[in-house]
Amino acid sequence: MATIKLTIEYDGTAYAGWQRQPNQPTIQAALETALTRITQQHISVIAAGRTDAGVHARGQVVSFHSNQPIPANKWRFAINSALPPDISVLSSEEVPESFHARYSAKEKRYEYRISRHPARPAIDRNRVWHLPYDLDIPAIRQAMSDLLGCHDFTSFQGPRASTSDPMCVVSEVSLNSEPMTVSIQIQANRFLKQMVRALIGTLTEVGRHKRSPCSMVDILQAKDRRAAGETAPPQGLYLLHVLY
């Protein structure tokens, strides 16, 4: 029995997120359906992170077990032949049996993309958050610096979250600003449900001078979702990379 690791990318626009759901198109269901077509067996797959509806990935990691006599590097070609065009396997490799896409992960990196163009985007409408306002970039960077380290992120946790541990260690935050676009990257050992989108929504409020750059400390200490800002929409969010 071989353990196979896949790195995949997908456009999440047409899907109700990663996790299989009744009567809903999901990334997991599409991938498992492709594997069934190839192997004539049901194979369950595990992802490094369960992305929400509309969220994209450039470096999602998936693992599964199989007894099929398919060389590890050939899984990529086989699965891609059975996947819809908005999901693609970038690489496939055999890993030790102990590997687990979710529990073996050390950190994940997400990126959020904002368009500041005066006109709403057409081609990128499902790939960025259109926010045509002036943003105070130095103020956002100042607020971001208070996210580094180990904190209780309850104030940035989405509704109906099932986790009992709100502690996360943020190791890196960065912002790249161009005339019409802003991209923010956050890397941490774990993320709560909708945490990145809540952080982005709050940071943009700082950028629009609706909140002080120093407010992040108070928001974290409040441990109350009502203390933070809005939840940014899903289409600007990308799972970029998973570190093992």
Query: CB neighbours (10 Å) of residue 174?
Result: 13
The span from the CA of 195 to the CA of 229, in Å, is: 11
Do 60 and 46 meet the contact criterion of CB atoms below 8 Å apart?
no
What are the angstrom distances between the C-alpha of 155 and each of 80, 145, 193?
40, 17, 11
The span from the CA of 63 to the CA of 136, in Å, is: 41
| Amino acid letter, 118 | P
Q: Residues 6 or more apart from 184 whose CB is under 8 A from it? A: 111, 112, 114, 140, 144, 173, 174, 175, 176, 200, 203
Please identify which of the residues 52, 124, 134, 218 carries the catalytic annotation. 52
The span from the CA of 192 to the CA of 199, in Å, is: 11
Radius of gyration of the chain (CA): 19
For residue 13, what is the DSSP state?
A: G
Do 166 and 196 meet the contact criterion of CB atoms below 8 Å apart?
no
- Could you confirm whether 52 is annotated as catalytic? yes
Active site residues: 52
